[in-house]
């Protein structure tokens, strides 16, 4: 049934089809926890309050007894009590009870989780970790921002021999930023294990990475290109690997990493554990899993929708030459703490940044053509809250995990529906304390693209109206050769910038 986006007389509005309800996936899914556990898991692994009982308590071997029941001490020949050696008191750390204690993790990991304030695991962690700690191959599909990184790092720590200074776990990611993010999480989850982690990505000094490998590491996290480079140099030895992890596998295949991934997997030992995690599981990822994994168990928590309920999503109809003005109006109305604006192309990102940089403070841009040192500097400022509006492309969007992001703006509709899922997933994450808001600018002729997005997330997006803003020029009589020249594109009122800055 056709669904009109506006009044029947308005031809400028987007028309599209209502997405039909989908039958839930009938593939094997891991049993999830009870409703109470799911509700507790929604609190997330990041930002949860520390246990009120403390991290550990001390126990004593000898219980208290009344003085009359205590055995008399021996006396020496002089009649004084002897000072013979008594049995040493064994002190055993008792980890505070939490949802992680039932997942098969060792005491060191449980204590670390308690120390950093992780109390309740998320649904993907509850379902994935007990399977992964057994050493079997497993694929995990869950909505973005649900704690997948901890779900594969914690089980891998169980299998590492920390006395052996050789790489035993490798994590492949699509971007440099995501590699750094995963490595930071691995370091945060492994202080009690004395685990050494190295980041192997392009655009960074290779000498430093060579030195790290020579000193000895247990976990390596990197992009496929640099990993192959180091293998060819003879600097990276994969013969002692125990765990191979493919993070954001769908994105790695999207950007052409399949040959590199297959080459790396063929270089790994046959007897290994392979874990694959992704927010989406398209056919190419399924084929990769069937070829390089041994009877993998599947954890599918995508359910009927791939979006979390902590994100409010809207679309706004607008003419192409009025997008900039609409963006300023939207920023003035929403007053975001931090906003991430996505464009389709690097050129589009640069042009938008050039337009805003001279008018708004705390605006920056990030894309694949920037030098790595520049990208690192921009990300540090963004995470520190020094950048209020970040303009980015899809290539680096996967590596951005900042809890302060309150708004997402799809300045350009993404080319692929899965890119929409990952864009919007940058907000409303488990590390955030509030819901996120996402807005997609839709122009004439993009109704079908909007419909495909809605079918992908199995949700109808409501339209968002900006009061006092004309998204379309009013239609008039047909133009003739005697008509005056067309007006210049809609210009942004400087006062609107001041409203956002205030």
Pairwise pLDDT comparison (497 vs 395), residue with the higher score: 395
Q: pLDDT tier at 138 (50, 70, 90 boundaries)?
A: very high
Among residues 425, 459, 423, which one has the least CA distance to residue 441?
423
pLDDT for 165 equals 92
pLDDT tens figures, 159-217: 999 999 999 999 999 988 889 989 999 999 998 888 999 999 998 889 999 999 999 99
Say whether pLDDT at 157 is over 90: yes
> Cα–Cα–Cα angle for 424, 430, 435, nearest 5°?
60
pLDDT for 89 equals 38
Give the list of residues 6+ apart from residue 431 with CB closer than 8 angstroms, or none.
44, 46, 47, 401, 403
Give the list of residues 6+ apart from residue 356 with CB closer than 8 angstroms, or none.
363, 389, 391
- Characterize 206-245 residue by residue with b for buried, 16 or more Cβ atoms within 10 angstroms of its Cβ, and e for exposed: eeebeebbeeebbbbbbbbebbbbbeeeebbebeebbbbb
Q: pLDDT tier at 56 (50, 70, 90 boundaries)?
A: very low
pLDDT tens figures, 2-12: 334 434 344 44
251/279 Cα distance (integer angstroms):
9
Any idea of the CA torsion for 453, 365, 281, 20, to the nearest 10 degrees?
A: -10
pLDDT for 404 equals 82
Helices (H), 407-493: 417-424, 447-457
Q: pLDDT tier at 256 (50, 70, 90 boundaries)?
A: confident
Say whether pLDDT at 396 is over 70: no
> With contact defined as beta carbons under 8 Å apart, do 441 and 343 qualify?
no
Mean of the per-residue pLDDT values of the chain = 77
Average pLDDT, stretch 209-233?
Answer: 96
pLDDT tens figures, 434-459: 678 999 999 988 988 999 888 888 88
Is the entire prediction scored with pTM above 0.75? no
Instruction: Give the whole-number percent of the chain exceeding pLDDT 90.
Output: 43
β partners of residue 178 = none
Average pLDDT, stretch 238-242?
Answer: 95
pLDDT for 281 equals 85
> With contact defined as beta carbons under 8 Å apart, do 480 and 345 qualify?
no
Give 118's DSSP letter.
-
β partners of residue 200 = 222
pLDDT tens figures, 288-313: 999 999 999 999 886 545 555 678 99
**What domains are there in the chain, each with its CATH number?**
96-300 (3.40.50.300), 306-474+488-501 (3.40.50.300)
Say whether pLDDT at 228 is over 50: yes
Sign of the alpha-carbon dihedral angle for 378, 203, 200, 264: positive
pLDDT for 45 equals 41
Q: pLDDT tier at 276 (50, 70, 90 boundaries)?
A: very high
pLDDT tens figures, 66-125: 444 444 443 333 333 444 433 333 343 445 556 899 999 999 999 999 999 888 898 899
pLDDT for 66 equals 42
Say whether pLDDT at 354 is over 70: yes
pLDDT tens figures, 459-485: 889 999 888 888 876 655 566 666 666
Average pLDDT, stretch 315-332?
Answer: 92
Give the list of residues 6+ apart from residue 204 with CB closer than 8 angstroms, or none.
176, 372
pLDDT for 490 equals 46
User: CA dist 89 to 54, 57, 71, 378, 420, Å?
Assistant: 22, 14, 18, 53, 59
């Amino acid at each position: 049934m056709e669904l009109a986006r506006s009044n029947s007389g308005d031809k400028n509005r987007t028309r599209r089809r209502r997405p039909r309800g989908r039958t839930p996936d009938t593939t094997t899914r891991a049993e999830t926890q009870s409703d109470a556990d799911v509700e507790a898991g929604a609190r997330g692994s990041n930002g949860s309050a520390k246990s009120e009982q403390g991290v550990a308590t001390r126990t004593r071997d000898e219980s208290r007894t009344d003085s009359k029941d205590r055995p008399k001490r021996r006396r020496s020949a002089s009649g004084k009590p002897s000072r013979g050696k008594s049995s040493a008191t064994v002190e055993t750390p008792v980890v505070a009870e939490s949802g992680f204690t039932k997942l098969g993790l060792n005491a060191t990991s449980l204590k670390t989780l308690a120390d950093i304030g992780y109390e309740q695991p998320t649904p993907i962690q509850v379902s994935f970790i007990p399977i992964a700690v057994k050493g079997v191959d497993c694929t995990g599909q869950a909505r973005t921002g649900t704690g997948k990184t901890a779900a594969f790092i914690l089980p891998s720590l169980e299998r590492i021999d920390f006395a052996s200074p050789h790489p035993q776990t490798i994590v492949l990611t699509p971007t440099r930023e995501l590699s750094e993010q995963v490595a930071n999480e691995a370091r945060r989850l492994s202080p009690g294990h004395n685990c050494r982690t190295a980041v192997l990505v392009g655009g960074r000094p290779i000498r430093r990475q060579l030195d790290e490998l020579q000193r000895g590491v247990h976990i390596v996290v990197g992009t496929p290109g640099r990993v192959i480079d180091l293998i060819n140099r003879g600097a990276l030895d994969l013969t002692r690997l125990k765990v191979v992890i493919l993070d954001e596998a769908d994105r790695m295949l999207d950007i052409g990493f399949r040959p590199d991934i297959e080459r790396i997997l063929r270089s790994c030992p046959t007897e290994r554990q392979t874990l694959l995690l992704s927010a989406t599981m398209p056919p190419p990822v399924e084929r990769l899993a069937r070829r390089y994994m041994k009877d993998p168990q599947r954890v599918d928590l995508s359910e009927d929708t791939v979006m979390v309920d902590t994100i409010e999503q809207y679309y706004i109809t607008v003419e192409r030459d009025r997008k900039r003005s609409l963006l300023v109006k939207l920023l003035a109305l929403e007053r975001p703490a931090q906003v991430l604006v996505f464009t389709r192309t690097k050129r589009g990102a640069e042009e938008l940044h050039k337009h805003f940089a001279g008018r708004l403070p705390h605006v920056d841009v990030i894309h694949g053509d920037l030098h790595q040192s520049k990208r690192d500097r921009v990300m540090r400022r963004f995470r520190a809250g020094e950048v209020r509006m970040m303009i980015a492309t899809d290539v680096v969007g996967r590596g951005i995990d900042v809890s302060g992001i309150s708004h997402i703006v799809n300045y350009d509709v993404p080319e692929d529906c899965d890119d929409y899922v990952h864009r919007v997933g940058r907000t409303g994450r488990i590390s955030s304390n509030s819901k996120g808001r996402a807005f997609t600018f839709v122009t004439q002729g993009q109704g079908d693209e909007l419909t495909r997005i809605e079918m992908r997330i199995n949700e109808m997006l409501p339209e968002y109206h900006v009061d006092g803003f004309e998204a379309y020029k009013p239609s008039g009589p047909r133009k003739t050769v005697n008509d005056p020249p067309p007006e210049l594109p809609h210009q942004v009122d400087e006062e609107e910038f001041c409203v956002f800055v205030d």
